[in-house]
A = this chain, B = another copy of it.
Amino acid sequence: MTSSHSVVIDGLQYANWSEAIFSQFRDGDVDAVHVTIAYHETFREMVLNIEAWNRRFEQFPELIFHGRWARDIDLARDTGRTAIFFGFQSPSPIEDDIGLVEVCHSLGVRFMQLSYNNQSLLATGCYETEDPGITRMGREVIKEMNRVGFVVDMSHSAERSTLDAIEISQRPIAITHANPASWHGALRNKSETVLKALGQSGGMLGLSLYPHHLKGGSDCTMRSFAEMVAETAELMGVDHIGIGSDLCQDQPDTVVEWMRSGRWTKDVDFGEGSKEAAGFPPQPGWFRDNRDFAKLAGGLRAVGMSDEDVAKVMGLNWRRFFEQSFERQEA
């Protein structure tokens, strides 16, 4: 059942979690957030991250709780809290074991990227020079994710693998945090071909506020961002876009090093950064943290988007997508 009141849902964050940030969720009226709980972790290491979240849920029950189903968005709204939905940025936590897909779903994980920058067992990442597409295991894992209600996320994947995933998956997929490459030509941003295929298949794009994904980086204006949102709505259909802020608040730069280099290189990989600017870039002033979602909604209205469309982009589309995605598929 979909109720019609508006909600605020963020399609991706990875902050240095604290009571201060959870209070900002509340100040910003954020009803639900998809948070990253693994980059390169093994299954057992990822479970330690779930344990850390369980302690946060126990410590701050007035602010946050573990969201498992779409209805938890309404529970969050009704109880003045924020529902936290778990996701992986790479498939490392399922190791080489397809049985872990269902196990992770039982643990309440709802999103998994099939690759993160590099080639994985399942798909190719956006920084590889060759992209042979979805692998044999990748096809099996997509089928299993479809069965149990686990969203395929291709945010850090390469073009062909992404198009393959859209085609192979029987349920709509997501790109939880990226922008159109036509607006800002970063390897992490997506081509029109990908975005059109994503929209036509019923999938979702979470528009990113991470400076490396923004035209002009940290100096990007709200107007430029909002115009891009309106254009992407034209391209994909306004029902297929939301926000995926990629907020990485309060993280030390060692964290972006872990995200980029994991254990796969002995050198340093600078990813979207560079040797000269290796750390997290500063957020633009109009979107510093979770308290700025209302400002962002205002920015979208200022470029002529209707109240109805703004409500869709700020949360209603993600809610519909959560409703369609997390339950087990009927046999």
Contact present for B47 and A43 (CB under 8 Å) = yes
Which of A47, A102, A103 has most chain B Cβ within 10 Å?
A47
Q: How many copies does the complex hold?
A: 2
Number of interface residues of A (CB under 8 A): 19
Residues 25-47 of A, flagged 1 when their CB comes within 8 A of B and 0 if not, give 00000000000000000011001
Instruction: Evaluate contact between A99 and B51: CB separation under 8 angstroms.
Output: yes
Chain B residues whose C-beta falls within 8 Å of the C-beta of A47 in the assembled complex: 43, 100, 103
Closest to A97 in B: B51
A50 to chain B, nearest CB (A): 6
B107 near A106: Cβ-Cβ < 8 Å = yes
Q: A302 contacts which chain B residues (CB < 8 A)?
A: none
Please tell me if the beta carbons of A51 and B102 are within 8 angstroms of each other in the complex. Answer: yes
Most chain B CB neighbours (cut-off 10 Å) among A52, A103, A331: A103
Other than the known A50-B103, A51-B103, A106-B108, what 4 A-B pairs have Cβ atoms closer than 8 Å?
Answer: A48-B99, A51-B102, A52-B99, A54-B99
Which residues A292-331 have CB closer than 8 A to chain B? Answer: 331
Minimum distance in angstroms from A79 CB to a CB of chain B: 14
A61 within 8 A of B: yes
Q: In the assembled complex, which residues on chain B have CB atoms less than 8 Å from the CB atom of A54?
A: 99, 102-103
Interface residues of A in 176-234 (CB under 8 A from B): none
A71 interface residue (CB < 8 Å to B): no
Report whether over half of chain A's contact residues are helix, strand or loop; otherwise say mixed. helix
Please encode chain A, from 100 to 112, with 1 for each CB lying within 8 Å of some chain B CB and 0 for all others.
1011001110000
Report Cα–Cα, A54/B55, bound state, in Å. 28
> Least Cβ distance of A254 to chain B in Å?
23
Closest B residue to A66 by beta carbon equals B106
| 24 residue pairs from A and B, CB less than 8 Å apart | A43-B44, A43-B47, A44-B44, A47-B100, A47-B103, A48-B99, A50-B103, A50-B106, A51-B97, A51-B99, A51-B100, A51-B102, A51-B103, A52-B99, A54-B99, A54-B102, A54-B103, A55-B99, A61-B331, A103-B107, A106-B106, A106-B107, A106-B108, A107-B107
Please report which residues of chain A, range 90-121, place their CB below 8 angstroms from some CB of chain B when the two chains form the complex. 97, 99-100, 102-103, 106-108
CB distance from A179 to the nearest CB of B (A): 35
Q: Give Cα A331 to B55, complex, Å.
A: 14
Interface string of A63-82 (1 = CB under 8 A from B): 00000000000000000000
Which residues in B have their C-beta under 8 angstroms from that of A48? 99
A145, chain B: closest CB distance, angstroms:
14
CA distance A55 to B100 in the complex (A): 12
Chain B residue numbers with a CB within 8 Å of A103 are 47, 50-51, 54, 107
Bound together, the chains give a CA A97 to CA B54 distance in angstroms of: 13
